[in-house]
Structure 1
Amino acid sequence: MNEMEPYRSQPRDEIIERIECYIIENDLIAGDQLPSERKLCELWDCNRMTFRSAVNHLIAEGVLYSAPSKGNFVSQKKLERYLQDLTSFSDFVMLQGRTMKNKIVSQCIIAASQKIADRLQINEGDKVFELVRLRIVDDEPVSIEWSHLPYERFNGIERYDFKRLSLYSVLEMKYLVAFEGGKEEISVTYADQQEAVLLEIAEGNPLFFLQGVTWDEEKIPVEYIKSVSRSDKINFAGVLVR
């Protein structure tokens, strides 16, 4: 029986690790510039093709960004959202010391599709308030979010200014909703043309796709939500317990 050969890291992986270590060891923060490509290639005795491959990987991961004719810079740390937290997007952004704005893509009353009806436990064709927002963090588009709420329960909700107001705050303060929990599913999708334009990325770029339902203390569904988020700007994490 042949023994499995040990995994051998590729030269690119070693340079990726060296760059990440350099950032940590030199206390570089967002906006700080890395030394030149030539200097780091000489320091680490690597060829430029390998170095550029490592940099491109870290740019795709949101660790670095490149400015033409200037060099490579440390990116703002990704937002980190814990899937267990039932907090509004605006709250979790502000808790991380970042600034957020909403751009209303659309808001209207629609007839519930079968999928929306099943998620909200209403009848197909019932009125649903649909709110589509572009989430902008530190002046960069990060996420597109579709919220669906049963209109019979939240009659008149369309009159609120959700460019300025948090949806959850309105639900809690104006409609006296007491959120109890929810369930979310996360997967990967790829940006279509409209999403690419709104998020200022290339069509086909990978995105996190999240969908789920939140419910109140009586286990009645309140919101069916979908979102797509830039994988270079946000991480989703979970807490493991035993």
Structure 2
Amino acid sequence: MRLDKNLKMPLYKQLKDALMEYIEENLKEGDALPIESEIEKLFGVSRITVRKTIEELVNEGVVTKTQGRGTFVQSKNIVQKAGNITSWTEEMRVKGKHTETKNMMIYEIEPSKKIAAELQLAKGEKVICLKRLRCADGEPISILINYFRSKFTPGFMENGLMKESLYEVLEEDYGIHLEQAHERIKARLSTDLEALELGISPDSAILHITRVSYLPDGTPFEMVEMANRSDRYEYDIDLVGRNKLKTFNTEGES
């Protein structure tokens, strides 16, 4: 398992690839990596190279270091399938995750100009703001803020969110079914408050998602803003090939 020192690829990158393969084939979530001295002997590299490689794996969320205990395989990233309107709770249930909500706050507010424009609100129309810290298997993953139209959900402020899933409440209590949505996804650095709530280092990379969801008649009902940990959250998107897209376009012209 010795590395090739004649390759142009730096040793720490070779070691990183080798350790990734070792983890994939031999370890599962929560298992401990060999200690640094064992990795050093196993691959014939210096302690400095081992530590640099482990540091990269920690930064990428592959492993986590616990002082005095060692280095352990980190939990797998949560992958959300793009293209479907599902609640955060439903996504986690499908993946076998235990969900938990913390720091929930509910307000009825005058919308900002941005929210009013996105939801095409009438002058003076208010929205309900529901902010939550969402956790999966005890780990904070996402800060979720829902803005939705008050006039469609009478009594929501008095009753609060009685279930883990907002969409279940909207469907079962108000008969509201979201027909389509548009999402914008961008990478940015976390704010100090986001970092504190998500348990990550200040200025860590996060995935910021803005979604506007629509009722069957095309009325914009809800705007969602999500700040997701980039080391725990991925988006999976299916793309249509160029030839198939040309076929669709040709059929549409007939």
Aligned to 2:251: none
Q: 1:125 to 1:61 in 2, by over 3 A?
A: farther
Task: Report Cα offsets for 1:153-190 as digits up to 9, x if no partner.
Answer: 22222234437431101111111112211111111122
The one-letter code of the counterpart of 1:17 is: D
Query: What letter is aligned with 2:43?
Result: W
String of CA shifts for 1:57-102, please: whole Å, max 9, x gaps: 2112211011112211101111111121211000000100110011
Say if 1:102 and 1:164, in contact at 8 Å, map to a contact too. Answer: no
Name the CA shift for 1:124/1:235 in 2 (closer, same or farther; >3 Å): farther
Match of 2:113 in 1: 114
Aligned-partner Cα distance in 2 for 1:181–1:14: 45
Matches within 5 A, 1:52-63: 52-63=51-62
Partner residue in 2 for 1:4: none
Change (3 A) 1:9 1:123: farther
Question: 1:19-59: per-residue Cα shift (whole Å, max 9, x none)?
Answer: 11001221x11110011111112111222222222212211
Identity rate, percent: 29
Match of 2:18 in 1: 18
> Which runs of structure 1 show a deviation greater than 4 angstroms over 4 or more consecutive aligned residues?
none
**C-alpha separation between the residues in 2 aligned to 1:104 and 1:125?**
28
What does residue 169 of structure 1 align with? 168
Shift of 1:132: 0.3
Distance in 2 separating the partners of 1:163 and 1:11: 54
**Distance in 2 (alpha carbons) for counterparts of 1:227 and 1:125:** 26
Look up the match of 2:101. Answer: 102
CA contact (8 A) 1:29 1:74 kept: yes
Equivalent AA in structure 2 for residue 19 of structure 1: L
Q: Kindly indicate whether the alpha-carbon contact (under 8 Å) linking 2:89 and 2:164 is maintained by their aligned counterparts in 1.
A: no
What is the TM-score normalised by the length of structure 1? 0.91
Helix, strand or coil at the partner of 2:96: coil
Mean Cα displacement is larger for which, 192-201 or 64-73? 192-201
Q: TM-score, normalised by structure 2?
A: 0.87
Structure holding more helix per residue: 2
Give how far 1:194 is off.
1.5
For 2:157 and 2:123, the matched residues in 1 are separated by: 21
Q: How many residues align?
A: 235
Of 212-221 and 89-98, more deviation after overlay is shown by 212-221
Letter in 2 for 1:33: A
* Structure 1 equivalent of residue 139 of structure 2: 140
- 1:183-198 map, 5 Å: 183-198=182-197
Q: 1:84-137 deviations in whole A, cap 9, x for unaligned?
A: 121100000010011001124321000011100111111354211000000011
Alignment partners' CA distance in 1, 2:162 and 2:22: 40
1:104 touches 1:163 (CA, 8 Å); kept in 2? no
RMSD: 1.7
1:234 corresponds to which residue? 233
Q: Check whether the contact 1:106–1:132 (CA below 8 A) recurs between aligned residues.
A: yes
2:205 corresponds to: 206
Contact 1:61 1:231 in 2 (8 A): no
Partner of 2:157: 158
Tell me by how many angstroms 1:8 deviates.
4.7
